A and B are shown apart, each in its own frame.
Chain A
Amino acid sequence: MGAPYDRGLIEDFGRFRYFSAGMWAWVLHKVTGWVLIGYLFAHIAVLSTAIPAASDPEAIAAGTDLYTRTIQGLEGIFLVRVLEVGLLAAAVFHMTNGIRLLLVDLGIGLEREAEGFYVSVAVTAVITVLSIPVFLPPEVVPW
């Protein structure tokens, strides 16, 4: 007998067109979780500027210390603002789908898990759209 045929990785992710709600929820929960933990490390790195800055009271009073300059400098970059909206979207989805997963773990509403996913996506979309004016006020938009 010849060798059995191994269909390889295509088995999983090549089939994304066929994914059901629960599968999409799993993929998105993963992606958003990794984004959040990645952000946490970056965030702590940026905030670390507070440690050297804290020993210079005059600069702090004038608002020209390293920490203030770093954060305001970053916030002045349009791309950073856009990424912040993305971060909010990731966080909101991870939270709402996280609630769905917690209910599933408690054995609540298992027959309606698909609807739970659609609600998570809808809530994420609404909150993200509503937050755009907060993150991207007219004065930071370069055009």
Chain B
Amino acid sequence: MSDSDADRTIRPETSGLNSEDPEEPESDVTESTGETVTLRIFRYDPEVESKQDAGFDTFRIPTHEGMTILDALIEARDEQDPSLTFRHSCRQGVCGSDALFINGSQRLGCKTQVSELKEPIQIEPLPHHPVVKDLVVDMDSFYERMRAVEPYFDPDDPPPDELTERYQSRENREDVKLSTRCIWCGACTSSCTIASNEDVYLGPAAINKGYRFYADEREGEDRAEERLEILQEHDGVWRCQTQFSCTNVCPQDIPLTEHIQQIKRDATKADLRFW
């Protein structure tokens, strides 16, 4: 329960369940602007007969200033329908667990203001993943692709002794800085039509992760070459069609397309060199 929950009127837990037209919520909520927002939320539950046919439920949620989509979802679950299921943890754009398909694009629930969106706000699970229940998707194929690029620091030479720190030049730090911000939310990969097929394309997040280590000079040249090889396997950078959807949706503002293009150019230069 969040700290502001105390102020809210507790309503019977079943009131909003699967109803297209839930009752008007109480308007005497403190901190609320007295306004409500209408959410259309995707529902699916293979274990409940009435929810085996996927569809949308409408929720009317009292809003307050600064309310995010995640706040609204928590409100809907806690006050109206306890069976509403979604993932979240940090509530501050750090854990990457609440990437959702909100009004037609991939966004983090906790980083999206309710007031910025056109109503009714349509909230769906992340596209291109099988839906487990309501807004929860199975992200295995995403994590598998992240692991495929060997996402850990792996230098050519071990440090002279175990306690020596490895310094990075300021310039090199700038090269990798933006790529290190990834929170594994999967928004980018979900937005890419080519990455919708996990066997075809690693997707932007995995390539960005590969770039993060490829561009890190401390790993050394041999490892960099190996990284380039991994990133241009048959499911690597050549599948990118510069749709820019990944760059547009990334909540961490990572210039994904730029990093992918950098890898393409470096790989081409390396292959065209015959001397």
Determine whether A and B are in direct contact in the complex, meaning some CB atoms lie less than 8 angstroms apart: yes
Additional A-B contacts beyond A4-B131, A26-B241 (19; CB < 8 A): A1-B46, A2-B52, A4-B132, A4-B138, A5-B46, A7-B54, A11-B127, A12-B196, A18-B104, A20-B248, A22-B242, A23-B244, A23-B245, A25-B243, A104-B261, A107-B258, A110-B247, A110-B255, A113-B257
List A104-128 residues whose CB lies under 8 Å from chain B: 104-107, 110, 113-114
Cβ contact of A17, chosen from B104, B244, B264, cutoff 8 A: B104
> Are B44 and A110 closer than 8 Å at their CB atoms?
no
Q: Contacts of B247 on A, CB cut-off 8 Å?
A: 110
- Does B105 interact with chain A (Cβ within 8 Å)? yes
Cβ contact of A11, chosen from B196, B243, B262, cutoff 8 A: B196
Chain B residue nearest in CB terms to A113: B244
Interface of chain A: mostly helix, strand, loop or mixed: helix
- Does B128 interact with chain A (Cβ within 8 Å)? yes
Q: Contacts of A12 on B, CB cut-off 8 Å?
A: 193, 196
> Are A107 and B265 closer than 8 Å at their CB atoms?
yes
Closest chain-A Cβ to B244's Cβ sits at a distance in Å of: 3
Return 14 A-B CB contacts under 8 Å, by A number: A1-B46, A4-B130, A5-B46, A6-B130, A7-B127, A15-B104, A18-B104, A20-B248, A22-B244, A22-B245, A23-B245, A104-B257, A106-B265, A110-B261
> Are B262 and A107 closer than 8 Å at their CB atoms?
yes
